[in-house]
């Protein structure tokens, strides 16, 4: 049987504007196996997982579990777990790290504030500090969610880790199984699909240099899908690949057509027309899907630079 990633690739399905949306990512290290809904079907206390899901609802925070590449045995003894929080809104990006022996401490975080970009509770509750190590590469490997993620993601994570990249983690779910291997790069929050080690190393080197690598890029998680499409289109038109200088400041209209205003830190603005269509012919959106689907795709119809007199329109 064809895997969903193979079918998507064979149909040349565009990957731009398909990133999972979150203004802030909260990542908890959890060794051992993961189930399809990992927060409640792993060796993490399922009551804690349910409470974290409920607390994050509507805050802009996406909670995920991470583990180091390799074998996934869980010794069962309490240990120190790494915790990361990353805010991905351009111009206000930060990545903080902490450690805990008791993951229930995460319930004391102010998730609404974290989603808005305020990291004070992360420092007060967990002793979190700015992350000073390598950028993070989170590779989706949860085979219980979709087998493509395990079959394609785990070898990529292992290869990246063996190459000396210190920030490589496996992660539970990034959405878009059919684009496996899928990877989220932090702190800037750009997601990548159909990734390979060469592409990812360029993306990680870009982070170190304050740049965004657009090859294989699915979009910035800080934006909704029309904004993801618009920002990537402006990068191509303007030849602008510096991180943190472009933001989505206005989205007008409603599905299936939007006018998105993208602003540069230097004052330039563009109005981007984005339309939603359906991907045809029908295809499996995941390996476990019982029926074929026609996933939404974002198409950029026009990019127009705004004159200074048009900025208020």
Q: Distance between CA 147 and CA 152 in Å, rounded?
A: 8
**220-231 pLDDT, tens digit each:** 999 999 999 999
Residue 157: per-residue pLDDT: 94
Residue 313: pLDDT band with limits 50, 70, 90? very low
Q: Distance between CA 82 and CA 84 in Å, rounded?
A: 7
Q: Distance between CA 230 and CA 269 in Å, rounded?
A: 12
**188-213 pLDDT, tens digit each:** 999 999 999 999 999 999 999 999 99
Residues contacting 213, CB < 8 A, separation 6+ = 190, 199, 202, 203, 206, 241
Residue 150: per-residue pLDDT: 85
Residue 73: per-residue pLDDT: 62
CB-CB contact of 183 with 139 (8 Å) = yes
The residue ranking higher by pLDDT, 308 or 216, is 216
**165-179 pLDDT, tens digit each:** 999 999 998 888 888
Residue 1: pLDDT band with limits 50, 70, 90? very low
């Amino acid at each position: 049987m064809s895997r969903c990633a193979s079918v998507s690739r064979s149909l040349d399905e565009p990957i731009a504007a398909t990133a999972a949306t979150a203004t802030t990512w909260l990542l908890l290290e959890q060794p051992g196996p993961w189930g399809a809904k990992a927060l409640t079907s792993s060796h993490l206390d399922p009551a804690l997982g349910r409470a974290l899901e409920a607390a994050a609802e509507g805050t802009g925070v996406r909670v995920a579990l991470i583990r180091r590449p390799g074998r996934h045995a869980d010794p069962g003894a309490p240990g120190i777990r790494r915790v990361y929080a990353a805010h991905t809104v351009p111009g206000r990006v930060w990545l903080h790290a902490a450690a805990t022996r008791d993951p229930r401490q995460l319930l004391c975080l102010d998730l609404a504030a974290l989603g808005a970009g305020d990291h004070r509770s992360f420092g007060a509750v967990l002793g979190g500090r700015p992350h000073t190590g390598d950028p993070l590469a989170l590779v989706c490997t949860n085979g219980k969610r979709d087998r493509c993620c395990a079959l394609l993601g785990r070898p990529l994570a292992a290869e990246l880790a063996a190459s000396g990249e210190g920030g490589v983690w496996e992660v539970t779910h990034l959405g878009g199984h059919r684009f496996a291997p899928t990877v989220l790069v932090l702190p800037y929050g750009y997601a990548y699909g159909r990734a390979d080690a060469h592409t990812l190393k360029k993306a990680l080197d870009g982070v170190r240099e304050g740049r965004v690598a657009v090859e294989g890029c699915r979009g910035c998680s800080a934006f909704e899908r029309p904004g993801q499409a618009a920002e990537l289109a402006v990068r191509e038109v303007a030849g602008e690949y510096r991180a943190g200088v472009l933001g989505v400041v206005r989205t007008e209209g409603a599905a299936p057509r939007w006018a998105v205003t993208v602003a540069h830190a230097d004052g330039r603005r563009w109005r981007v027309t984005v339309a939603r269509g359906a991907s045809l012919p029908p295809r499996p959106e995941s390996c476990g899907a019982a029926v074929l689907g026609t996933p939404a795709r974002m198409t950029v119809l026009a990019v127009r630079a705004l004159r200074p007199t048009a900025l208020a329109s």
